[in-house]
Structure 1
C-alpha cells in the first residue's frame, strides 16, 4: 500500500494543480488530500479483510 499511497498523493497534487494552477498552497493541499485519501482507502481495505478473512484463516478454525 506504500506505493499506492504515493501514487494517490501525486495524482491528487496533479489534479488540483491542473484545475487551479500550481502554487505552494495547492501543492500542500494536494498532498494533504492525497494522504487522507490513501489512509482512508487503507483503513477500508483493512476492515474488509477483517470482515472477510482469507481462506487460510478459515482452514484453521475448528468446527
Structure 2
C-alpha cells in the first residue's frame, strides 16, 4: 500500500515565492484588485469634479 500522497516531499517545500505566484493566478484576488482600482479612480474623479464645482461658486 502506498503512503499518503498529500504529504509534501522533502525536496520541494512551499516557499513564499510559490505562494505569491499562486496568489497572482487567483481570479478572486484579481477581481478584488480590479475593483479597488475602479473604486479609487471613481473617488478621485468625483473629488476633482467637486473641487472644480466649489471653485466656481467661490469665484461667482
Of the two, which has the highest radius of gyration?
2
Q: Give TM-score scaled by structure 2 length.
A: 0.50
Higher RCO (CA-CA < 8 Å; seq separation 6+): 1
Give the helix-richer structure, 1 or 2: 1
Q: Give TM-score scaled by structure 1 length.
A: 0.48
